[in-house]
């Protein structure tokens, strides 16, 4: 049996979790505590690094205690401590990694410095027991990537954004239109009563031979449209949101469909290929429906883990630790590991 305590502090969630794996049974999440700082940052319309770091300092000890208590395990029963060591906001990373180092040293447990993106990449194996290789679409406030997940520690990035992350584009659009933070859910809500055909926004990169994403041109187009018809009525806002969302889904679909074809070419022997989505933007129903349709057409399984595990959490970090332990991947001198904000 392997039992790992995970710690996540790379952005604006303070999180701790205990995950266990026993024999051939499915892994179990014994506890999964996530404290969001959304309210602390809402007044500023985005995450403020200084405030985030301070909030992690204040909350983390209690969150770890609660995760242990919830799991029914004592620190002595834990096999290793896994903490996010990057990428992310450096203040938060320092808080989480230093705390993990202290616990590991005091309790004589191994420390695992985990890459946050590896956590997202391996979540579908925790929730759905997926086999390698598979394709991952990560769309969050900080990341927009397509990754071929080939094995533990074996990731190939096929596409990334050349400017804004997709969640960031949602958040900035919301801000321009006077909608509250976080923008994504509010843009989706407004779009529900809007006319998606009123504005012909650009579909950045659509049809491009280059695999990457781009969203800043779309953001500019939204700003120009909003400025041209200001002051905006509620219906104007709804129409802009719906048109924006349609453009995003279309552009994203084009990029993903390209990657599905590439996956077919590179892994011709893979019998049931799968596309996994992760990140907060995966909550968007229009985007989800677009991806689902694409997968059905291309013969891919569409895997969307529960939102609680697709957005930032520590269960995915604990799980990545278990995967690493199980694969026998050991980190030399983890106790000396320095947080890497751009890892």
Binding-site residue numbers for substrate are: 138-142, 171, 184, 188, 284
How far, in Å, CA of 69 to CA of 51, rounded? 27
> From the annotation, which residues make up the binding site for Fe cation?
116, 120, 312
Tokens of 302: 């569409």
Span of 63-71, 152-160, 261-269, 310-318 interacting with Zn ion by CB under 5 A? 310-318
**Residue 17 vs 311, nearer CB to ligand KG4:** 311
The one segment of 30-38, 125-133, 139-147, 219-227 that binds Zn ion by CB under 5 A: 139-147
Separation between Cα atoms, residue 315 and residue 331, nearest integer Å: 20
Measured from the CB of residue 314, what is the shortest distance to Zn ion in angstroms?
A: 11
Q: Is 140 in the site for ligand KG4 (CB under 6 A)?
A: yes
312 binds Zn ion, rule: CB under 5 A: yes
The contacts of residue 222 (CB under 8 Å, 6+ apart) are 173, 176, 201, 240, 244
167 binds ligand KG4 (CB under 6 A): yes
If binding means CB under 5 A, how many residues of this protein chain bind Zn ion? Answer: 2
Which CB sits closer to ligand KG4, 66 or 283?
283
Shortest Cβ 286–ligand KG4 spacing (Å): 8
Please provide the DSSP assignment of 158-169 as one string.
EEEBSS--HHHH
User: Both ends of the chain: CA-CA distance in Å?
Assistant: 30
What value, to the nearest 5°, has the Cα angle with vertex 61 and ends 56 and 67?
105
Contact partner at residue 141 from Zn ion, ligand KG4, none, CB < 5 to 8 Å by partner kind: ligand KG4
What Rg, from alpha-carbon coordinates, does the chain have?
20
**Residue nearest Zn ion by beta-carbon distance:** 312
The residue count for the chain: 343
Can you tell me the distance from the alpha carbon of 309 to that of 184, in angstroms, rounded to the nearest whole number?
Answer: 18
**Residues in contact with ligand KG4, shown as a per-residue x/- string from 169 to 208 under the rule CB under 6 A:** -xx----------xxxx--x--------------------
Considering only residues 5 through 64, tell me which ones interact with ligand KG4, judged by CB under 6 A. 11
Residue 311 interacts, among ligand KG4, Zn ion, none and using kind-specific CB cut-offs from 5 to 8 Å, with ligand KG4
CB atoms within 10 A of CB 227: 10
CB of 123 to ligand KG4, least distance (A): 11
Nearer to Zn ion, 59 or 225 (CB): 59
Q: Could you tell me if 18 and 7 are in contact, meaning their C-beta atoms sit under 8 angstroms apart?
A: no
| Contact string (CB under 6 A) for ligand KG4, positions 275-304, x = contact | ----xxx-xx--------------------
Ramachandran bin of 86, using left for φ above 0, alpha for ψ from -120 to 50, beta for the remaining angles: left
């Amino acid at each position: 049996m392997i039992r790992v305590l995970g710690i996540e502090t790379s952005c604006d969630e303070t999180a701790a979790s205990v995950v266990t794996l026993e024999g051939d049974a499915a892994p179990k999440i014994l506890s999964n505590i996530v404290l969001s700082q959304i309210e602390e940052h809402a007044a500023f319309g985005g995450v403020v690094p200084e405030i985030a770091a301070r909030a992690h300092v204040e909350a983390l000890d209690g969150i770890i205690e609660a995760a242990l208590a919830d799991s029914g395990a004592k620190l002595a029963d834990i096999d290793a401590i896994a903490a996010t060591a990057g990428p992310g906001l450096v203040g938060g990373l320092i808080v989480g990694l230093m705390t993990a180092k202290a616990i590991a040293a005091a309790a004589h447990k191994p420390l695992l410095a985990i890459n946050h993106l590896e956590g997202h990449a391996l979540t579908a194996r925790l929730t759905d027991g997926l086999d390698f290789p598979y394709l991952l679409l990560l769309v969050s406030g900080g990341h927009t990537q397509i990754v071929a997940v080939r094995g533990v520690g074996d990731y190939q990035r096929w596409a990334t954004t050349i400017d804004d992350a997709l969640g960031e584009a949602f958040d900035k659009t919301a801000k321009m239109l006077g909608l509250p933070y976080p923008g994504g859910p509010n843009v989706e809500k407004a779009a529900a009563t809007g006319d998606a055909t009123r504005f012909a926004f650009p579909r950045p990169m659509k049809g491009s031979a280059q695999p990457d994403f781009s969203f800043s041109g779309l953001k500019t187009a939204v700003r120009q449209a909003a400025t041209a018809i200001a002051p905006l009525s509620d219906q104007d806002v709804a129409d802009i949101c719906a048109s924006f969302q349609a453009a995003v889904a279309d552009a994203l679909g084009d990029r993903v469909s390209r990657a599905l074809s590439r996956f077919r070419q590179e892994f011709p022997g893979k019998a049931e290929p799968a596309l996994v989505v992760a990140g907060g933007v995966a909550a968007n129903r229009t985007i989800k429906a677009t991806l689902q349709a694409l997968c059905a057409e291309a013969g891919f399984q569409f895997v969307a883990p529960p939102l609680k595990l697709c957005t930032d959490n520590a269960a995915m970090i604990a799980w990545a630790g278990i995967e690493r332990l199980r694969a026998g991947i050991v980190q030399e001198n983890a106790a000396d590991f320095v947080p890497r904000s751009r890892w």
